[in-house]
Structure 1
Amino acid sequence: MSSLATIIKDDALASTLRIGFYSLTACSVVGIAAYIGYKAASPNQTYALKSRHPESNDQIEKVLESLRLDDEKLRQIMQLLEQEMEAGLSPATHKNADIKMFPTYVRNIADGSEVGQVLALDLGGTNFRVLLVTLLPQPKIDLKSKIFVIPQSIMLGPGVNLFRHLADCLLDFMKKENLDKPDVHYPLGFTFSFPCKQEGLASARLTSWTKGFTCSDVVNSDVVKMLQDAIDEKHINVKCVALVNDTVGTLMACAYKDQNTAIGLILGTGTNACYMEKLDRVGTWDGDYNEPKQVIINMEWGAFGNNNRLNHIRTKYDEEVDLSSVNPGKQIFEKMISGMYMGEIVRLIILDLMQQDLIFIGQRDGYGDYRTPLFTRGGFYTKFVSTVETDEGIAFANTRRVLEDMGIRNPTFDDCAIIQHICKNVSKRAAKLAGACLTVIINRINKPNVTVGVDGSLYRYHPRFKRNMEKCMKNLVNKNIKFKLTLSDDGSGKGAALIAIVADRFQKNQMKTLVSFDENDEEEEEARSHPQSRPSKPITFNTQSVPSTFNRATVS
């Protein structure tokens, strides 16, 4: 520095340069300190970049590993389900069986020849529908419907108020459609999607509430009678002629177009399945053994695992969902796969990763923005799972929107990738469980071609659920069987209508047969009283027996 000042021979300039060098040195020191401080304050930055592929992160995978099911585990579950099915079908073990395997008294499927006009009520969750279904020559069906909400006060209140509410909705719909006429009587099919012990086509006793309902004084009561009492109380010209589970309605609606349909499956708010079973396998059957020697069985498979037989595949998240539900210890299988609980499982996993500092890294100061929704039970809706999984590529537009709607501002790429990874694992497990259990029924039916009618919001709207089910089932279904999953077109409504119109026609034909017997008896009595008036040819009688359960009526 001194040599430079000597050369320049200018004290003022030398002083200026000296100050400049000192300033440059000081700025360098400050810059280095700032960089070191930044690195010290961001210890997880390197880790966060690894989260761009969450499946390669050991800590995240350790959390999600409990959701993974290979074919060996699925086959074990299939064996357990078959054992539980046999327990439900046997009169010796039915009382204590979790999967009740209720006979529905529906012994034939629709064939497309059914015609007529009928009302239907569909109660399967928080929403309730009233429908007017006009069956025209196949494949034309005219349908008008209206959705009504079931308030929580009614879901949790006295049972009589529930059925009065249904009757009010029915009357409201009939007035709107100009059906409230004094000289016209309508048959009605009632889709009641809760576990019932059916005692006839129009008689069933509720065995337990599910899906958040806890109405008092309904369990062990005849729900058809309760509905009919509420209808009669309001002087509505409607008679409930058939009670139908939504799975049976789904099966019937699909069979209207595809005669290979033998199974109905619901994957929505709840889950259940039904199928056509041979009578000689139904030990609890109390009807006749006339043709057709078959009956649709309502499985009520949501209760699979209530006896702890699924504990080996349940996770801590499943246990938490169960404990916080309105019916702890019940509907264990349903809580692992259905729409009512899937979002909650995802929420609990997100919380677990948050507590381990594996997600939302660098946003600790913003916890107040999103912590409340995530710490609220039900804060992550199941519809969010479907929305998140529709994202493809790196933009994560749908995932960002979901997280921002929940109060999470500016979620990072890593956050979105992890959220999607969680959703995919939870929904894939549900699809595999549903597929494996459905395979048990397909293999049991053991026909060359089996069509499964499927309905429910989870199956209908989730972008990968069907694909994941089919991929799982291809490895499990017997090789001699071809199966097809068909989305039902309003099975719980149209299916109930199909069953109701057949039941109504059967009842009318039965009455005609009884009247015919009465008239023949009178003629016989007249002939005995006046032998001279006896005809030269003997009178013939219709001696065909009337079956105790309805078969498909022939449409004239």
Structure 2
Amino acid sequence: MASKCKSKICNPPEQEIKVTQGTPEVTQGTPEVTPEIVAACQELVLDNDKLQTYMTTFLDNIERGLKKETHDDAVVKCIPTYVQDLPNGTETGKFLALDLGGSNFRVLIITLDGKECDMQSKVYSISHEVMQGPGEELFDFIATCLAEYAVEQGVADATLPLGFTFSFPLIQKGLTVGVLERWTKGFSCEGVIGNDVVQMLKAAIDRRGDVKIDVCAVLNDTTGTLMSCAWKNNDTRIGLIVGTGTNGCYVEKQANVELFDEPDRGSGNVIVNLEWGAFGDDGGLDFCRVQYDRDVDARSINPGKQLHEKMISGMYMGEMVRLAAERFTKEGYMFGGKGSEQLFTPDAFETRFVSDIEADAPGTYNNVKQICNDLGLADATEQDYVNLRYLCACISRRAAHLVSAGLTVLIRKVGEKKVAVGIDGTVYKNHPNFHNLMMEKIKELIEPEYEFSLMLSEDGSGRGAALVAAVAARVAAQG
């Protein structure tokens, strides 16, 4: 898809569709996008005036989430993670990590020595029966896998610090206290919602009695992403996920986080989990949502919820393109007005198709032609390829610009002139233009005195969890 990386961030090749502040342009020598499609896609263009409205509303939402008086009604919850300290490069030793965020979960053992990291891991599959069964059985299964892996790695007799990445909505009440708010991703285990998942894990470990574990922290993958990048880059203050879902976190002053109720250990800061996917659930994004957004939301499993996420993330981006392509086909502007059964089938257009189509080299249509064939559109013309690529560019560009506007607010909120952003997720990693789109737009929106960088995270949900445990162990040892 993208060209070979020369650095940690891939610099994608020039695309046939160039992205500007306004509408994407088609390079010379190729058919022009059908004018009717250009006109219809204007509603997907977020000019800087709209992005300024977004930023003002988003900042107001953050302030509401941080304050006790308004927190309960806020849609951007700004939950304190109780992670107060970032890695400083002196963390050493062996650490365990659990990464639970879907039907596959991992057990990791990570050895830190300054800036060196050795990571071993094993993936376990969780059956549908366990995902939907009693909560105690889920944690018993996790504890069994953890014990087996500790024996395999020869650390069963050691008491190792463990970081637990639990990528489901948690209400955190301490570094080692996380109460499950609701299940997502196909899980529906009874007896877990409203309970502390750390205590349930410890109870399962105790029931076995054959492994010694010190659970030092529970966190989500966004916090892990920030910690993983902070270990490499001391300027990291923001963590971001842009994948199947999306979320962000940032380093805030403890004095501004009114729900934080632990004594300051010296840093004066705490990582705040924004849960920004819910931004707009109160109508705050209605000014820039379009009919495709409303259709995607109406057919989702959680109508009216996570509206920001539905405009950005990989779970919905492909369907957004399909809905637009279906409309334009029925209006006679694409695919000869005929389309195909696959094109008119919800969720048939996968988000990875967007990345593949935009990764075609200038003047070529290898990926888009293959995708059209797979969708039963074998009679698609070169004009159709250009139109479809333009549509993909409009949808992905809108997502990148929304993320950029949110990051601009957070960079300012951190209050430091040099800020690195750690980013993970399949959309950011796989889309050939997403990084460059974000860099260009943030530069437009942010004041020139701010220096920022976007850093691809290396396994935040695994290494990041171990680093939270390592930092907690380091701080505890320092007294």
Asked whether the two chains share a fold, i.e. TM above 0.5, the reply is yes
Does the 8 Å CA contact 1:262/1:276 hold for their aligned counterparts? yes
Q: For residues 91 and 224 of structure 1, what CA distance do their matches in structure 2 show? A: 25
Residue type matched to 1:486 in 2? M
Shift of 1:213: 4.3
Shift of 1:506: 4.8
Aligned to 1:102: 79
Change (3 A) 1:144 1:166: same
Shift of 1:478: 2.1
Among 207, 217, 224, which residue is 2:198 paired with?
A: 224
Q: For residues 155 and 346 of structure 1, what CA distance do their matches in structure 2 show? A: 31
Does 2:266 correspond to 1:297? no
Among 353, 361, 372, which residue is 2:328 paired with?
A: 353
Q: For residues 257 and 485 of structure 1, what CA distance do their matches in structure 2 show? A: 13
Among 454, 460, 472, which residue is 1:485 paired with?
A: 454
Counting aligned pairs with the same residue, the percent is 43
Shift of 1:455: 1.1
Change (3 A) 1:61 1:446: same
Q: For residues 58 and 421 of structure 2, what CA distance do their matches in structure 1 show? A: 18
Residue type matched to 1:482 in 2? E
Does the 8 Å CA contact 1:443/1:478 hold for their aligned counterparts? no
Shift of 1:411: 3.2
Does 2:160 correspond to 1:186? yes
Aligned to 2:298: 323
Does 2:115 correspond to 1:146? no
Q: For residues 453 and 167 of structure 2, what CA distance do their matches in structure 1 show? A: 24
Aligned to 1:252: 227
Aligned to 1:467: 436
Aligned to 2:356: 387
Q: For residues 167 and 424 of structure 1, what CA distance do their matches in structure 2 show? A: 45
Per-residue CA deviations over 1:429-466 (Å, capped at 9, x if unaligned) read: 00000000010010112312111111111111111001
Aligned to 1:200: 174
Among 254, 257, 263, which residue is 1:279 paired with?
A: 254
Q: For residues 157 and 328 of structure 1, what CA distance do their matches in structure 2 show? A: 25
Residue type matched to 1:452 in 2? V
Change (3 A) 1:210 1:455: same
TM-score (norm 2): 0.88
Change (3 A) 1:184 1:474: same
Aligned to 1:422: 391
Among 357, 362, 380, which residue is 1:411 paired with?
A: 380
Shift of 1:483: 0.6
Q: For residues 54 and 364 of structure 2, what CA distance do their matches in structure 1 show? A: 38
Q: For residues 256 and 331 of structure 2, what CA distance do their matches in structure 1 show? A: 52
Change (3 A) 1:357 1:171: farther
Change (3 A) 1:231 1:321: farther
Residue type matched to 1:139 in 2? K
TM-score (norm 1): 0.76
Change (3 A) 1:107 1:97: same
Change (3 A) 1:215 1:344: farther
Per-residue CA deviations over 1:310-365 (Å, capped at 9, x if unaligned) read: 11111111111111111111111111101111111112112112221222117x4x
Residue type matched to 1:296 in 2? I
Change (3 A) 1:314 1:156: farther
Does 2:83 correspond to 1:114? no
Aligned to 1:515: none
Does the 8 Å CA contact 2:222/2:247 hold for their aligned counterparts? yes
Q: For residues 103 and 396 of structure 2, what CA distance do their matches in structure 1 show? A: 22
Per-residue CA deviations over 1:202-226 (Å, capped at 9, x if unaligned) read: 1111223344544444332212122
Residue type matched to 2:422 in 1? G
Change (3 A) 1:358 1:190: same
Does the 8 Å CA contact 2:84/2:265 hold for their aligned counterparts? no
Q: For residues 231 and 374 of structure 1, what CA distance do their matches in structure 2 show? A: 49
Does the 8 Å CA contact 2:293/2:311 hold for their aligned counterparts? yes
Among 222, 226, 243, which residue is 1:268 paired with?
A: 243
Does the 8 Å CA contact 2:335/2:379 hold for their aligned counterparts? no
Residue type matched to 2:411 in 1? I
Shift of 1:277: 0.7
Aligned length: 450
Does the 8 Å CA contact 1:111/1:257 hold for their aligned counterparts? no
Q: For residues 74 and 214 of structure 1, what CA distance do their matches in structure 2 show? A: 37
| Bigger RCO (CA 8 Å, 6+ sep) | 2
Change (3 A) 1:214 1:315: farther
Does the 8 Å CA contact 2:82/2:260 hold for their aligned counterparts? no
Per-residue CA deviations over 1:352-380 (Å, capped at 9, x if unaligned) read: 12221222117x4xx6xx41x33333211
Q: For residues 343 and 162 of structure 1, what CA distance do their matches in structure 2 show? A: 32
Q: For residues 186 and 284 of structure 2, what CA distance do their matches in structure 1 show? A: 24
Does the 8 Å CA contact 1:211/1:269 hold for their aligned counterparts? no
Residue type matched to 2:124 in 1? F
Residue type matched to 1:103 in 2? P
Does 2:132 correspond to 1:163? no
Change (3 A) 1:159 1:399: farther
Q: Which moved more, 1:388-397 or 1:81-90?
A: 388-397
Shift of 1:425: 0.8
Aligned to 1:341: 316
Matched ranges for 1:28-39 at <5 A: none
Aligned to 1:545: none
Residue type matched to 1:122 in 2? D
Does the 8 Å CA contact 1:122/1:191 hold for their aligned counterparts? yes
Shift of 1:142: 0.4
Among 446, 464, 467, which residue is 1:495 paired with?
A: 464
Shift of 1:231: 3.2
Shift of 1:112: 0.8
Q: For residues 424 and 285 of structure 1, what CA distance do their matches in structure 2 show? A: 41
Where does the alignment leave 5 or more consecutive residues of structure 2 unmatched? 1-29
Q: For residues 236 and 302 of structure 1, what CA distance do their matches in structure 2 show? A: 40
Does 2:430 correspond to 1:454? no
Q: Which moved more, 1:194-203 or 1:57-66?
A: 57-66
Residue 63 of structure 2 aligns to a residue in which SS?
A: helix
Per-residue CA deviations over 1:510-529 (Å, capped at 9, x if unaligned) read: xxxxxxxxxxxxxxxxxxxx
Q: For residues 466 and 198 of structure 1, what CA distance do their matches in structure 2 show? A: 31
Per-residue CA deviations over 1:105-144 (Å, capped at 9, x if unaligned) read: 11111011101111111223454222111112x3210011
Q: For residues 50 and 369 of structure 2, what CA distance do their matches in structure 1 show? A: 35
Q: For residues 345 and 145 of structure 1, what CA distance do their matches in structure 2 show? A: 36
Does 2:109 correspond to 1:132? yes
Q: For residues 384 and 126 of structure 1, what CA distance do their matches in structure 2 show? A: 24
Change (3 A) 1:430 1:210: farther
Change (3 A) 1:153 1:201: same
Residue 326 of structure 2 aligns to a residue in which SS?
A: helix
